[in-house]
A and B are shown apart, each in its own frame.
Chain A
């Protein structure tokens, strides 16, 4: 199993550009989520999904869209990038809603100029 994979590893955007951060898992996990981590801070939840076709907002959803058309994939879309979205983005997955363990991907480092 590859676990949780994220692409790209690094990205530089200009203000106003849009892009999609990819996240995939091959563990047949129902629950997937996106976090962002700013320098010196803990992770904050952006969006999450409890299964294909179901998504919901976390703590900091503004400026981001998600969809979950398959169990494996959970892309995060930035509609119009802003410098405040400069951060490291982590995707995570777990077997189910009550699963003890969440598995995190390696992260995508995003710089918005």
Chain B
């Protein structure tokens, strides 16, 4: 299973873009990159996922490098409510839909 590496913590000023990096150098060709976040003590929340093309939705953008060994989650205009732990997950293949969580990045949005 491909593993991911994320910085343990990051700060971002409110209203600015938050760029959260993730390394997944052993990712397989058919594995997707998923991002979830967990606001304090709540259940994780899905944000976005992608295979090799950049993706954007109402919450965030996902930029995946051409060699797929790393990706960046972008929150375009961070708010205080975006303070959370962000998990980058490479989805395990097969008929199980399992998610393997690491320790994630604690993003602290500062006023």
Contact = CB atoms under 8 A, between A and B. Distances in A.
Interface stretch (B11-19, B21-29, B67-75, B101-109): B101-109
Given A42-B101, A100-B49, A90 B96 contact: no
A96 B103 CA distance: 26
A45 B99 contact: yes
Nearest to A94: B97
Contacts of B96: 48, 50, 56, 97
The size bracket of the interface on B is 10 to 19
A31 interface: yes
Nearest to B102: A42
Interface string A68-104: 0000000000000000000010101010111111111
A32 to B, nearest CB: 10
B43 A105 contact: yes
Interface residues of A, number: 30
Given A31-B97, A50-B95, A41 B46 contact: no
A64 to B, nearest CB: 16
A31 B97 CA distance: 8
Nearest to A56: B96
A48 B87 contact: no
A104 B97 contact: no
Contacts of B46: 100-103
Contacts of B95: 50, 97
Nearest to B92: A45
A43 interface: yes
A102 B49 CA distance: 12
B43 A40 contact: no
Given A90-B43, A90-B44, A100-B49, A40 B103 contact: yes
Interface of A: 4, 31, 33, 35, 40-45, 48, 50, 56, 58, 88, 90, 92, 94, 96-107
